[in-house]
Structure 1
Amino acid sequence: MKTLLVAATGFEIKNVLKHFNLGAENYVETPTFDVLITGVGMTATAFALGQHLLPGKYGQVLNLGIAGSFSPEFPPGTIVQVCTDIFAELGAEDGQQFLPIQTLGFGESSYTAIPPLQPLDPPLSTVKGITVNKVHGHQPSIDALKARLSPDIETMEGAAVIYACNQIQIPCIQVRAISNFVEPRNRENWKIELAIENLNNWAIRFLTKDQRILF
């Protein structure tokens, strides 16, 4: 069965699309893998996956994109694998305390990806991600988030992809390239092109390996 490559934007996987001579459509099929461009954010991602990620259609999902890092261990340009991802804002406020949805008794906010049958070769550093509706750029809220969840990175889609894969019990490989540190917003410190170049180089190698079809 094929791999479904999922990304929020075509820009994040532009070199992959160019390397394999793929068009700019939001959904492209190839003999060995398909590409789904979902749009930015959890809602757009969930809708797009609901249309295309059907039981029995794919053997695994490869989710690619850029991310912000909370840790100096993962500077801009670093490629990481997100194995656990959390819906950071899913819950309720009780004064200054945040109550996650599991505390309220309405579900879970943290999801761990089903791993592929064969580990990544070479392996990537594994991290804990959070998925947010707003990327963080205010130091007090950054500090509060780090104290509450101890995340390594943040994205706007990752947990939604892992959640969808878990619902139909298929492996999910979420790979992110760090484009910036999570800090008070400073575009001069961003390294988006470096992150995209490194991410795409990794993805092209992964997709062209003979073992890319694992099932």
Structure 2
Amino acid sequence: MPLASTVGFISATRKESSIVLRLLKRSRPEQFYSGKIGKNNIVHAISGMGKTNASHAATLLMERFSPCIIINFGIGGAYPSSGLRAGDIAIANKEIYGDEGLWLKDGFHTVDSTGIPFLKKGREKYFNEFPLDKKLAGKAIKCFRLTPDPLPLAPKIKSGAFVTVSTSTGTNKRAKELEKRFNAICENMEGAAIAHVCAMYGIPMLEVRGISNIVEDRDRDNWDIKTASENCQKAVLEILKRL
């Protein structure tokens, strides 16, 4: 990446970005923070939760600051068979809209069953799935192989498909359905919307999530948001050094 490139950060909440925000200053509009981390100019948007807020923040970033890449980060839930646990790190190789589609007598069908894509660029049609930048994901994984114990507790780092939902999953049954349907490792509420906007603008995207919980019958006593958030931000800062 060229010197003094602008990197766009997006996280849903301040709690998910408290470490990063200490390195930046608030700018206008108020949801944005900016500064320099290493050789990179950073503009960080606090989007708010959910797809609409996320896509709005991503669009504002693109239009006002022209970033060369977007890094979306925050916490997420790991699906039961992913092998991930609270405090581990997940890196997306693609983002998937988990709710969009059709409910018919035989069950759920993704948007491609309608034949109407969410986005068409040249010959490429995007339905539920938005592939993320392979080079960025590869660099992110590689940096942890090169860096001895960059994070506390030596968390597991795993790459795979992420599912973005509007209704967070809080039952074992639903978790297993989504995991099987999309062959995914992680659930969140913003990523696919940001990936959608990045595809529109032709900007590469990296998504990093700290695992706060297993997606199962909901029990907040089993969650560790603090460790997930801290590990995720430390991972992002480590990745940034090597871009």
TM-score (structure 1 length as normaliser): 0.89
Whether 1:67 and 2:76 are equivalent positions in the alignment is: yes
Could you list the per-position Cα deviations for residues 156-191 of structure 1 after superposition, in whole angstroms to 9, with x for gaps in the alignment? 001111111111111101001100000000001001
| C-alpha distance in 2 between matches for 1:96 and 1:12 | 39
SS in 1 for 2:25: coil
The aligned residue for residue 11 of structure 1 is 15
Structure 1 residues 116 and 144: alpha-carbon distance in aligned structure 2, compared to 1, 3 A threshold: closer
Structure 1 residues 14 and 136: alpha-carbon distance in aligned structure 2, compared to 1, 3 A threshold: same
Structure 1 residues 145 and 96: alpha-carbon distance in aligned structure 2, compared to 1, 3 A threshold: farther
- Percent identity of the aligned residues? 26
Whether 1:178 and 2:178 are equivalent positions in the alignment is: no
Q: Is the 8 A contact 1:115 1:171 kept in 2?
A: no
> Which piece of structure 1 moves more, 121-130 or 107-116?
121-130
Q: After the TM superposition, which residues 78-157 of structure 1 pair with which residues of structure 2 at under 5 Å, given as runs?
A: 78-107=88-117, 108-116=127-135, 119-120=139-140, 121-122=143-144, 124-157=157-190
- For residue 21 of structure 1, report the CA deviation from its aligned partner: 4.6
Could you list the per-position Cα deviations for residues 135-170 of structure 1 after superposition, in whole angstroms to 9, with x for gaps in the alignment? 111232223223322221100001111111111111
Could you list the per-position Cα deviations for residues 11-60 of structure 1 after superposition, in whole angstroms to 9, with x for gaps in the alignment? 10101112x15349411222411101111000111112222213981110
Could you list the per-position Cα deviations for residues 81-100 of structure 1 after superposition, in whole angstroms to 9, with x for gaps in the alignment? 11111001111100241111
Whether 1:22 and 2:25 are equivalent positions in the alignment is: yes
Whether 1:58 and 2:67 are equivalent positions in the alignment is: yes
- Matched to 1:119, the amino acid is K
| C-alpha distance in 1 between matches for 2:68 and 2:54 | 19
| C-alpha distance in 2 between matches for 1:170 and 1:155 | 21
| C-alpha distance in 1 between matches for 2:58 and 2:83 | 32
Q: Structure 1 residue runs of 4+, over 4 Å off?
A: none
- Matched to 1:110, the amino acid is E
- For residue 122 of structure 1, report the CA deviation from its aligned partner: 2.6
Gaps of 5+ in 2: 118-126, 146-156
Could you list the per-position Cα deviations for residues 77-130 of structure 1 after superposition, in whole angstroms to 9, with x for gaps in the alignment? 011211111001111100241111111111100110124468222365211110
The aligned residue for residue 46 of structure 1 is 55
- Matched to 2:215, the amino acid is V
- Matched to 1:78, the amino acid is D
TM-score (structure 2 length as normaliser): 0.79
| C-alpha distance in 2 between matches for 1:116 and 1:36 | 23
The aligned residue for residue 151 of structure 2 is none
The aligned residue for residue 195 of structure 1 is 228
The number of residues matched between the two structures is 209
RMSD: 2.0
- Matched to 1:29, the amino acid is S
Q: Is the 8 A contact 1:114 1:169 kept in 2?
A: no
| C-alpha distance in 1 between matches for 2:161 and 2:232 | 18
Structure 1 residues 204 and 114: alpha-carbon distance in aligned structure 2, compared to 1, 3 A threshold: closer
SS in 1 for 2:60: helix
| C-alpha distance in 1 between matches for 2:199 and 2:90 | 20
